[in-house]
């Protein structure tokens, strides 16, 4: 009897953080020891796979015996011997450790294009990618299609840029093709800087070859012989896997001179970003690749006319490029069968925040927000009330609970004052203060502003200062109007996308949560009890057991009381750090 056994361990950043490497090591050890004891011959392979999506349950492990897959969740190294013994040797899966309904629900409404091989194949092995049809698209394009025909397919598929602006990819390539120049470039923008977004990281970590293939096909279409991947240095794993994938692609003659004997030359270099959000903006990204400060310049001329070192340059986002090989392989019609009329295909989102199933999801455009949050996300953590979802990161906005049935596509989100953006989706519940959220994003954009243009450099600073005074109880009567007026002027006058969209979180929270602003300004109250200057801590006598834990932890010496008797907080001494609230086991510290 010969059994084909595969064990797949999640080794995305989430998996690694949860101890994936230790789990792999444990499996290797146990299999070795068990292998000697067991008389049954076994063909065992151990794969490292990329992101599986549901990072909240990491480490996820698949055990596949003769094609029968069992998926385990929350696996720790000490659980491995049990799996090896009971499941692999004795053939009885440990049901208690397998994934539950949540895992299945999480996947049920997803449609995977970009992520179809992510989490399934070993990203460090090109043959794994080739085995599932990888590089077929490259062969097809290079040997049987003209650049014009290729562009036509992409245009027909309706693919739009997944980096934020949603510019039609086919059209961009066509402009790149038409640009007259000896030298052209294609750049993959992997500078995923949005806080709350990790789609691009996951795709590069999970299936780097799809991105490389997308770049080869793009380069062929516009006649570029050089490509760059601009990737954040903060993503070391992604960089390492990409580097390895490029080497393998070169060895397999998919990159370099005379690719597949077609006479087409193309190679890719990695450029590491150095930590500046603004470098996600095309012209700043180009400046950064050239080794300069990433300060955007005015467009026109657009990069496709005058880009890297003055040459025509097409810049595509990671997810956009990773879609390309699948579109070529399965056809434009197949791709455009997903999504809505104007937003075709699927979109990868990073679902995070106060939702039960945080992770990476891929859904057809036009799915409702409700389906994402409740069906895929499993609802709100602790079953608290859903308040809003923040999409599009610092350039986006907050969509309130009452709009939960809107469709998620480029147009619908723009209509309600937010954007799809790169695909960050942070779910907020009743314990999140919307003014604080707006302030958080302004802190971010302010610290990431390059400082070139006045409205962004000084304007966002002033916006932030107004938000700071509102959240600390010093808000003035006309501050909301001032915020709105300044926001609109910053949007109209800023040089680049960063400044033009920086006020969006302010405007959208004012639009939907004006009452929270009012509460801060007029009543000097933070309804979500987040803004610490507007909080008062007090001890509820009937719950207090007089254990003294709060007294010991209070850094300001504001708490007094005898042992076993109710304590009190002196509001004049209290610095509102919340330490007493955290430590109290009896819910005897109230804030409000």
Partner 1 sequence: MITLIIDGQKITVPEGTSVLDAAKKLEIPIPTLCHHPKLSPYGGCRLCIVEIKGMARPVTSCTTPVNEGMEVTTTSPYIERLRRTVLDLLLTDHPNDCMVCEKAGDCTLQELAYFYGLRELRFQGEKRIYTKRDGNPFIERDTEKCILCGKCVRICDEIQGVGAIDFAYRGFKAKICPPHEKDLDCEFCGQCVAVCPTGALTGKMWALKGRQKDIREIDTICPYCGCGCNLTLHVRRNKVIRVSSKEDTVNEGWLCAKGRFSYGFINSPERLTKPLIRIAPKESSEFGVRSSGLNSSLVTRHTSHFKEVSWDEALDYVAERLRDIKEKHSPDAIGALASARCTNEENYLFQKFMRAVIGTNNIDHCARY
Partner 2 sequence: MEETLKRILEEYKKNEGNVISVMQEIQDAFGYIPEDAINWFSKKLDIPASRFFGVATFYAQFHLKPRGRNIITACCGTACHVKGSDRLINGLRKELNLPEGEDNTEDMEFAVEKVACVGACSIAPVVIVNKKVYGKMTAENLMREIKTLKGKRNEG
| Residues lying near partner 1 in the complex (CB under 8 A) | 276, 278, 293, 295, 297-298, 300-301, 446-455, 457-459, 461-462, 465, 482, 485-486, 489, 491-495, 500
Residue 318, binding choice from partner 2, partner 1, none, Cβ under 5 to 8 Å by partner class: none
487: contact with partner 2 by CB under 8 A: no
How many CB atoms are located within 10 Å of the residue 507 CB? 18
State yes or no: residue 264 binds partner 2 (CB under 8 A): no
258 makes contact with partner 2 (CB under 8 A)? no
Chosen from partner 1, partner 2, none, partner binding at 95 (C-beta under 5 to 8 Å by type) = none
Q: 3-state secondary structure string, 295-334?
A: CCCCCCCCCCCCCHHHCCEEEEEHHHHHHHHHHHHHCHHH
Q: Is 451 left (phi over 0), alpha (psi -120 to 50) or beta?
A: left
| Least distance in angstroms from the C-beta of 584 to partner 2 | 15
- Tell me: cis bond preceding 300? Omega within 30 of 0 counts: yes
Mask for 447-486, x = binds partner 2 (CB under 8 A): -x-x------------------------------------
Indicate the burial class of 390 (C-beta count within 10 angstroms; 0-12, 13-18, 19 or more): buried
- Give Dmax (Cα) for the chain: 87
**What would the x/- binding string for partner 2 be over residues 549 to 568, using CB under 8 A?**
------x-------------
Q: Does 445 bind partner 2 (CB under 8 A)?
A: no
CB of 181 to partner 2, least distance (A): 19
Q: Report what 223 binds from partner 2, partner 1, none; CB cut-off 5-8 Å by kind.
A: none
229 binds, among partner 1, partner 2, none (CB under 5 to 8 A by kind): none
Q: Which residues, 6 or more positions from 466, have their beta carbon under 8 angstroms from its beta carbon?
A: 475, 479, 482, 483, 486
Q: Which does 149 bind (CB under 5 to 8 A by kind): partner 1, partner 2, none?
A: none
Tell me if 350 contacts partner 2 by CB under 8 A: yes
How does DSSP classify residue 78? G
Q: Which of 49, 56, 186, 420 binds partner 2 (CB under 8 A)?
A: 56
Among 118-126, 161-169, 230-238, 364-372, the segment contacting partner 2 (CB under 8 A): 230-238
Using rule CB under 8 A, residue 192 touches partner 2: yes
Candidates 50, 93, 196, 218: give the one binding partner 2 (CB under 8 A).
196
Q: Which of 166, 227, 296, 353 binds partner 2 (CB under 8 A)?
A: 353
Cα–Cα separations (whole angstroms), residue 271 to 109, 436, 492: 36, 35, 32
- Residue 297 binding partner per list partner 1, partner 2, none, with a CB distance cut-off of 5 to 8 Å that depends on partner kind: partner 1
Using CB under 8 A as the binding rule, whether residue 352 contacts partner 2 is answered as yes
Binding segment toward partner 2, per CB under 8 A, in 32-40, 51-59, 132-140, 239-247: 51-59
How far is it, in rounded angstroms, from Cα 274 to Cα 276? 6
Hey, which residues between 364 and 403 contact partner 2 (CB under 8 A)? 390, 393
Tell which residue, 433, 456, 508, 50, has the closest CA to residue 284: 456
Which one of the spans 88-96, 241-249, 289-297, 560-568 is the region binding partner 2 (CB under 8 A)? 289-297
Q: Which two tokens stand for residue 321?
A: 């490029």
Tokens of 460: 């966002």
Nearer to partner 2, 87 or 226 (CB): 226
Beta carbons of 137 and 157 less than 8 angstroms apart: no
Out of partner 1, partner 2, none, what residue 353 binds, judged by CB under 5 to 8 A for its kind, is partner 2
Q: Which does 428 bind (CB under 5 to 8 A by kind): partner 2, partner 1, none?
A: partner 2
H/E element, 87: none
Closer to partner 2 by Cβ: residue 34 or 272: 272
Beta-carbon count within 10 A of 111 CB = 16
Query: Residue 55 or 467: which CB sits closer to partner 2?
Result: 55
**In the complex with partner 1, which residue's Cβ is closer, 300 or 382?**
300
- Closest approach, Cβ 348 to partner 2, in A, equals 13
Alpha-carbon distance 592 to 587, whole Å? 13
| Distance separating alpha carbons of residues 535 and 473, to the nearest angstrom | 10
Contacts of 485 (CB under 8 A, 6+ apart): none
Query: Whole-angstrom Cα distance, residue 174 to residue 139?
Result: 21
x-or-dash pattern for partner 2, window 523-542, by CB under 8 A? --------------------
Could you tell me where the beta strands, DSSP code E, fall in 191-263?
226-232, 256-259
486 binds, among partner 2, partner 1, none (CB under 5 to 8 A by kind): partner 1
Local structure of 480: helix, strand or coil: helix
Say whether residue 236 binds partner 2 (CB under 8 A).
yes
Q: Is 293 in the site for partner 2 (CB under 8 A)?
A: yes
CB nearer partner 2, residue 120 or residue 192: 192
For helices 136-144 and 318-330, the axis angle rounded to 10 degrees is 70
Q: By CB under 8 A, tell whether 191 contacts partner 2.
A: no
| Chain-centre distance for alpha carbon 473 | 34
Phi and psi angles of residue 265, each rounded to the nearest 5 degrees, phi first: -105, 135
For every residue of 11-45, DSSP letters joined together read -SHHHHHTTHHHHHHHHHHHHHHHHHH--SEEEEE
| 131 SS3 class | helix
d(CA 27, CA 10): 13
Residues 23, 77: contact at Cβ < 8 Å?
yes
Candidates 144-152, 157-165, 190-198, 484-492 — which segment interacts with partner 2 by CB under 8 A? 190-198
Q: Binds 18, which of partner 2, partner 1, none (CB < 5 to 8 A, cut-off by type)?
A: partner 2
Shortest approach of partner 2 to residue 280 CB, angstroms? 11
Stretch that binds partner 2, among 282-290, 477-485, 516-524, 561-569 (CB under 8 A): 282-290
Selection from 281, 314, 274 nearest residue 494 by Cα: 281
Question: Which residues of this chain interact with partner 2, rule CB under 8 A?
Answer: 13-14, 16-18, 54-56, 58, 192-198, 201-202, 232-236, 271-277, 288-294, 350-354, 358-360, 390, 393, 424, 426, 428, 432, 437, 440-441, 444, 448, 450, 555, 577-578, 582
């Amino acid at each position: 009897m010969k059994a084909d056994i595969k064990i797949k361990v999640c080794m995305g950043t989430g998996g690694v953080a949860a101890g994936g490497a230790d789990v792999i090591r444990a499996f290797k050890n146990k299999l070795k020891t068990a292998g000697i004891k067991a008389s049954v011959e076994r063909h065992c392979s151990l794969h490292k796979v990329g992101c599986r999506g549901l990072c909240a349950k990491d480490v996820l492990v698949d055990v596949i015996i003769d094609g029968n897959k069992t998926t385990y969740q929350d696996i720790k190294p000490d659980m491995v011997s049990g799996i090896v013994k009971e499941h692999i040797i004795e053939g009885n899966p440990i049901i208690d450790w397998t994934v539950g309904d949540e895992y299945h629900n999480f996947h049920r409404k997803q449609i995977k294009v970009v992520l179809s091989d992510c989490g399934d194949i070993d990203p460090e092995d090109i043959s794994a990618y080739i085995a599932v049809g990888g590089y077929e698209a490259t062969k097809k394009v290079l040997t049987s299609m003209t650049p014009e025909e290729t562009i036509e397919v992409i245009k027909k598929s309706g693919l739009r840029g997944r980096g934020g602006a949603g510019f039609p990819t086919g059209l961009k390539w066509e402009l790149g093709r038409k640009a007259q120049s000896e030298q052209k470039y294609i750049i993959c923008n992997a500078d995923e800087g949005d806080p709350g977004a990790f789609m691009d990281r996951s795709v590069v970590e999970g299936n780097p070859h799809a991105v490389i293939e997308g770049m080869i096909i793009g380069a062929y279409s516009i006649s570029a012989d050089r490509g760059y991947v601009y990737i954040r240095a903060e993503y070391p794993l992604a960089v390492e896997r990409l580097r390895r994938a490029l080497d393998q692609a070169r060895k397999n003659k998919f990159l370099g001179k005379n690719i597949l004997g077609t006479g087409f030359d193309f190679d890719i270099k990695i450029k590491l970003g150095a930590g500046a959000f603004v470098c996600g903006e095309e012209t700043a990204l180009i400046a950064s690749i050239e080794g300069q400060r990433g300060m955007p310049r005015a467009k026109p001329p657009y990069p496709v006319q005058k880009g890297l070192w003055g040459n025509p340059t097409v810049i595509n986002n990671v997810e956009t490029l990773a879609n390309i090989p699948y579109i070529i392989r399965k056809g434009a019609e197949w791709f455009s069968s997903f999504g809505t009329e104007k937003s075709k295909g699927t979109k990868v989102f990073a679902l995070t925040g106060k939702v039960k199933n945080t992770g990476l999801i891929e859904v057809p455009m036009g799915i409702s927000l409700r389906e994402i949050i409740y069906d895929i996300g499993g609802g709100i953590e602790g079953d608290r009330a859903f308040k809003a979802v923040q999409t599009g990161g610092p350039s986006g906005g907050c969509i309130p609970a009452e709009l939960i049935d809107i469709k998620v596509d480029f147009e619908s989100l723009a209509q309600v004052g937010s954007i799809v953006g790169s695909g960050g989706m942070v779910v907020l519940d009743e314990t999140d203060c919307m003014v604080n959220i707006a302030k958080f994003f302004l802190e971010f954009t302010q610290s990431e502003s390059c400082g070139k243009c006045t409205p962004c450099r000084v304007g966002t600073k002033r916006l932030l200062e107004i938000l700071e005074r509102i959240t600390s109880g010093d808000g003035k009567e006309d501050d909301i109007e001032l915020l709105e007026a300044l926001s609109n002027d910053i949007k109209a006058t800023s040089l680049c996308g960063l400044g033009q969209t920086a006020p969006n979180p302010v405007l959208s929270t004012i639009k939907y949560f004006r009452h929270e602003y009012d509460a801060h300004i007029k009543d000097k109250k933070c309804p979500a009890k987040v803004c610490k200057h507007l909080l008062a801590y007090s001890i509820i006598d009937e719950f207090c057991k007089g254990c003294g834990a709060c007294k010991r932890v209070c850094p300001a010496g504001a708490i007094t009381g005898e042992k076993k008797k109710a304590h009190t907080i002196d509001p004049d001494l209290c610095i509102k750090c919340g330490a007493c609230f955290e430590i109290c086991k009896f819910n005897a510290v109230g804030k409000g």
